[in-house]
Amino acid sequence: MSKAEKTAVVLLAAGQSERFGRDKTRLVLDGETLIERHIRQSSNVSDAVIIVANSKNRELIKQDALVATHRNLKIVEQPGHQVESGIAAGLTASEAYGSVCLSCVNDLVPDKSYALLKKSSQNNDMAIATGRTSKPFPGGAVSFDKDGMVQRITEKPTGGCPPGSPINVLLHWFNTPSVRRKIVDKLLEGAKYETLLTQLFVQTVKCSCLSLPVWHAIKHPDDWDLITQSGRHNNTLSKLRRGKS
């Protein structure tokens, strides 16, 4: 098959981890670094792995990635510090592939999430994953139209996303190359990613949604400490493996 008939997974791993205090890609959960975890989880739906790294963690990420995969692997460096530049770099590196899944390695998702997101995207331009939390969350709030398609992502709403409301998880599946090219062009012009997606939804880009039963975003040391506490650690792993809250 040609690349146009294949799928690439783009893993975003270039964050500077300034709030966290150490490189989050090196965190180990159940014997895997977060890079290794996402490579394994995506292995049954992807033909290539493209990792967006920064100048400081590139070599360490390469070591982890080579341990985790024997497939086509490419590592690109993010220019600058904004996530939009990393997304643009990853989508550019994967432009020859028919489908692309974009994912942030700092999000802990159930093992079947990649396969389920691919299934959700069928007959649509793209699909995104959403999660829910029991407390306000500073991420993008997702809203839907009357047919259940994604209509808007409100970036960092005032007061955060309310408890129990759908939150944009950076696990996005793209089936339409022209949509990806438009995203890259606009990001390079300075557009914000979530705002840009909402503009595309208005322009008839069809986006379905996969609601994750369990999801953990690793943003601060407290997030990681809470997950890895004795007792809770095993409970979290069990939920992620089973894909049930």
114: left (phi over 0), alpha (psi -120 to 50) or beta: alpha
Share of the chain above pLDDT 90, in %: 63
Write the DSSP string, 128-180: EEEE--SS-BSS-EEEE-TTS-EEEEESS-TT-BPTTS-EEEEEEEE--HHHH
Taking residues 45-61, what's their average pLDDT? Answer: 91
Task: Let me know how long the chain is.
Answer: 245
Local confidence band at 205 (pLDDT 50, 70, 90 cut-offs): very high
Q: Are 160 and 205 in contact (CB under 8 A)?
A: no
Local confidence band at 87 (pLDDT 50, 70, 90 cut-offs): very high
Spatial separation of the C-alpha atoms in residues 197 and 207, rounded to whole Å: 10
pTM, rounded to two decimals: 0.93
* 48 strand-pairing partners: 8, 72
Sign of CA dihedral 179, 193, 25, 57: positive
Burial class (CB in 10 A: 0-12, 13-18, 19+), 70: exposed
- Per-chain mean pLDDT for the chain: 89
Domains of the chain: 3-220 (3.90.550.10)
- CA dist 114 → 10, 63, 106, 149 (Å): 12, 23, 15, 19
Local confidence band at 225 (pLDDT 50, 70, 90 cut-offs): confident
pLDDT for residue 141 is more than 80: yes
pLDDT tens, residue by residue, 226-245: 888 755 556 666 677 666 65
Spatial separation of the C-alpha atoms in residues 167 and 136, rounded to whole Å: 10
pLDDT for residue 218 is more than 60: yes
